[in-house]
């Protein structure tokens, strides 16, 4: 009885704010390898990762964790 949507579902995941470009690229690469990910966008300023597709949230978090971004700050961030 589930409604079928043509548009892929969007998921929003919190990542550390202010990641440098290198980290953004790493995050993008890791997350795009997760099965079911159609597209993604990293908003480094807000610290949000938008993912479209039917990837399992746990798999996305695991990809981030394996890249070192679960609770981690970018080592290049200076405050």
Chain residues 12-31 in contact with Zn ion, contact rule CB under 5 A: 20, 23
Q: 54-77 as b/e, with b when 16 or more CB fall inside 10 Å?
A: ebeeeebeebbeebbbeeeebeee
Q: Which is nearer to Zn ion, 15 or 23 (CB)?
A: 23
Beta carbon of residue 55, minimum distance to Zn ion (angstroms, whole number)? 23
Q: Does 76 bind Zn ion (CB under 5 A)?
A: yes
Using CB under 5 A, list all residues that contact Zn ion: 20, 23, 74, 76
């Amino acid at each position: 009885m589930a409604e079928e949507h043509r548009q892929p579902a969007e998921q929003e995941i919190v990542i550390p704010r202010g990641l440098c470009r290198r980290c953004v690229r790493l995050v993008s690469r890791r997350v795009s390898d997760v099965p079911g990910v159609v597209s993604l966008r990293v908003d480094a300023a807000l610290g949000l990762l938008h993912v479209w597709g039917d990837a399992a949230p746990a798999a996305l978090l695991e990809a981030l964790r394996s890249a070192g971004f679960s609770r981690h700050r970018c080592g290049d961030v200076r405050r």
